């Protein structure tokens, strides 16, 4: 029997909408599980997180997950990524017929917007307000979503997905740079970004890690027994230029 073949293809709404939404929710709940294993994530300020070993703050992580799932792009994935800028894209990674991962790059004029349907509703704006211009591209694109199922990360298949998506976006000359974010509980994202030439542009917040090393050093699997708490960034914002 032939081994399943890995492939990367564009998002197809009728086939992929449910599985992508589920995967993006799972990605953020995975962060909660990591916080539970390594310590706790507590919101101190909107831009700060502290990681300790004293239980875990489930509501704050669930709130963050809900914010992601209320992003303006998730109102209509197909329209947002396939019809608002030719440099945007939403790509699915499969092994045979099995879903493995997803990446979304926003190169529209809203690429740096952090508005959600929740924030818009609170402000009394139309619920799905986005920049309506079609075929309009920002010179700065953003990786809004990047997720690969955990069991496949050890073979670094995420590197192939990221490389492919960047090639597609940078093939449009209007895009001069791409921004991306690595959180304290997703060090695999940072590793993939750095391999593709991303450099740290901004450090956001502070965290205390109940582990033998800062997770951003790629040592999140170290045992916790007797570990000394260390301080480090809660989030890294990266940029790669053309």
User: What secondary structure does DSSP assign to 14-70, as a single string?
Assistant: HHHHHHHHHHHHHHHHHHHHHHHHH-EEEEEETTEEEEESS---HHHHHHHHHHHHT
Give the other-Cβ count within 10 Å of 52's Cβ. 18
pLDDT score of 223 more than 90: no
Q: Please report, for residues 10, 116, 120, 130, 131, the alpha-carbon distance to residue 125 in angstroms, rounded to integers and kept in the order given.
A: 31, 11, 5, 11, 13
pLDDT of residue 134: 56
Within 76-146, residue ranges assigned H as helices are 77-82, 117-122
3-state SS assignment for residue 193: helix
Give the other-Cβ count within 10 Å of 207's Cβ. 25
Per-residue pLDDT reduced to its tens digit, 54-91: 233 444 455 556 667 789 999 999 999 999 999 999 99
Per-residue pLDDT reduced to its tens digit, 12-65: 999 999 999 999 988 877 766 655 555 444 443 433 333 333 233 444 455 556
* Of 132, 140, 129, 147, residue with least CA distance to 106: 140
pLDDT of residue 208: 55
**CA 66 remoteness from chain centre:** 14
Length of the chain (residues): 242
3-state SS assignment for residue 6: strand
Partners of 7 in the β-ladder: 94
Angle between helices 157-170 and 187-195 (to 10 degrees): 50
Phi, psi of 204 (to 5 degrees): -115, 125
User: Domains (ranges, CATH) in the chain?
Assistant: 6-126+136-241 (3.40.630.30)
pLDDT of residue 224: 37
């Amino acid at each position: 029997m032939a081994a399943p073949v890995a492939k990367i293809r564009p998002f197809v709404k009728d086939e992929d909408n449910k599985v992508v939404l589920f995967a993006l929710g799972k990605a953020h709940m995975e962060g909660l599980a990591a916080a539970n294993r390594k310590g706790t994530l507590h919101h101190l300020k909107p831009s700060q997180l502290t990681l300790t070993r004293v239980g875990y703050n489930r509501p704050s992580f669930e709130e963050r997950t809900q914010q992601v799932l209320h992003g303006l792009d998730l109102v209509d994935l197909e329209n947002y990524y396939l019809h608002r800028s030719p440099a945007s894209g939403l790509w699915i990674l499969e092994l045979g017929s099995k879903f493995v991962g997803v990446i979304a790059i926003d190169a529209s004029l809203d690429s740096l917007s952090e508005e959600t349907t929740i924030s818009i509703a609170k402000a009394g704006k139309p619920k799905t307000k986005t920049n309506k211009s079609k075929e309009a591209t920002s010179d700065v694109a953003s990786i809004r979503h990047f997720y690969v199922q955990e069991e496949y990360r050890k073979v670094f298949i995420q590197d192939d997905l990221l490389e492919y998506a960047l090639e597609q976006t940078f093939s449009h000359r209007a895009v001069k740079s791409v921004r991306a974010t690595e959180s304290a509980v997703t060090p695999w994202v940072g590793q993939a970004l750095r391999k593709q030439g991303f450099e740290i542009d901004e450090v956001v917040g502070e965290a205390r890690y109940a582990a033998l090393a800062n997770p951003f050093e790629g040592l999140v699997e170290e045992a916790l027994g007797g570990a000394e708490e260390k301080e480090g960034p809660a989030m890294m914002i990266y940029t790669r230029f053309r």
